[in-house]
């Protein structure tokens, strides 16, 4: 469901936009916002609602792990994109669930004409780390 008006989006974004995602801003084109839903070190699984303004997307990245790991996205509001390297982009709408295996290069973010939120679930694993890679260029993104 495409939502361009921020006030209307906030009504749909039931987990809340949260605060500017300043710690990871260098890995995003546009503004993103993070609302942690669990506390690090107080829960075995970290969950956060990640919100993207229209056109915002993260860089290509990989969730590395030697066993287990990866990420699950549960889309909750607005409209977005997910893409794995070498595959077509997938349209994301509320209710979409994406399971991202460990060691798979991918990116995700809002569509050009919609705010977008998903809950990010970090899957536990061994020797987990994130590798941030190149940005998704405006030229590439505009063709979606």
Q: What pLDDT does residue 41 have?
A: 83
φ, ψ for residue 90, nearest 5 deg: -110, 130
Q: What pLDDT does residue 44 have?
A: 87
> Does position 131 have pLDDT exceeding 90, yes or no?
yes
Token match 């893409």: residue? 83
Structural domain harbouring 87: 6-141
Half-sphere exposure at residue 100, Cβ-oriented, CA atoms within 13 angstroms = 29
Q: Tell me if the pTM is above 0.75.
A: yes
Q: Is residue 1 part of a domain?
A: no
How many domains would you assign to the chain?
1
Write the pLDDT tens digit of every residue in 26-81: 999 999 999 999 998 888 899 999 999 999 999 999 999 999 999 999 999 999 99
- CA gap 107, 10 in Å, rounded: 24
Q: What pLDDT does residue 121 have?
A: 97
Q: What pLDDT does residue 2 have?
A: 92
Q: What pLDDT does residue 69 have?
A: 96
Whichever domain contains 100, its CATH number is: 2.60.120.10
> Does position 1 have pLDDT exceeding 90, yes or no?
no
Q: Is residue 127 part of a domain?
A: yes
Q: Is residue 46 part of a domain?
A: yes
Q: Is residue 75 part of a domain?
A: yes
- Given a contact cutoff of 8 angstroms between Cβ atoms, the answer to whether 104 and 72 are in contact is no
The DSSP code sequence of 66-106 is SEE--EEEEEEEE-EEEEETTS--EEE-TT-EEEE-TT--E
Write the pLDDT tens digit of every residue in 79-117: 999 999 999 999 999 999 999 999 999 999 999 999 999
Cα–Cα–Cα angle for 67, 72, 76, rounded to 5 degrees: 170
Q: What pLDDT does residue 40 have?
A: 82
Q: Is residue 90 part of a domain?
A: yes
- CA gap 12, 28 in Å, rounded: 23
> Does position 140 have pLDDT exceeding 90, yes or no?
yes
């Amino acid at each position: 469901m495409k939502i361009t008006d921020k006030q209307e989006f906030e009504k749909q974004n039931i987990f809340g936009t949260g605060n500017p995602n300043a710690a990871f801003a260098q890995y995003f084109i546009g503004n993103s916002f993070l609302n942690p839903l669990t506390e690090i070190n107080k829960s075995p699984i970290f969950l956060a609602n990640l919100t993207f303004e229209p056109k915002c997307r993260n860089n290509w990245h990989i969730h590395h792990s030697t066993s287990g790991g990866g990420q699950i996205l549960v889309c909750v509001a607005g409209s977005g994109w997910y893409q794995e390297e070498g595959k077509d982009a997938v349209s994301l709408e509320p209710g979409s669930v994406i399971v991202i295996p460990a060691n798979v290069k991918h990116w995700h973010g809002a569509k050009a004409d919609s705010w977008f939120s998903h809950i990010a679930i970090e899957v536990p694993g061994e020797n987990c780390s994130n590798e941030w890679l190149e940005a998704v260029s405006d030229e590439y993104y505009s063709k979606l």
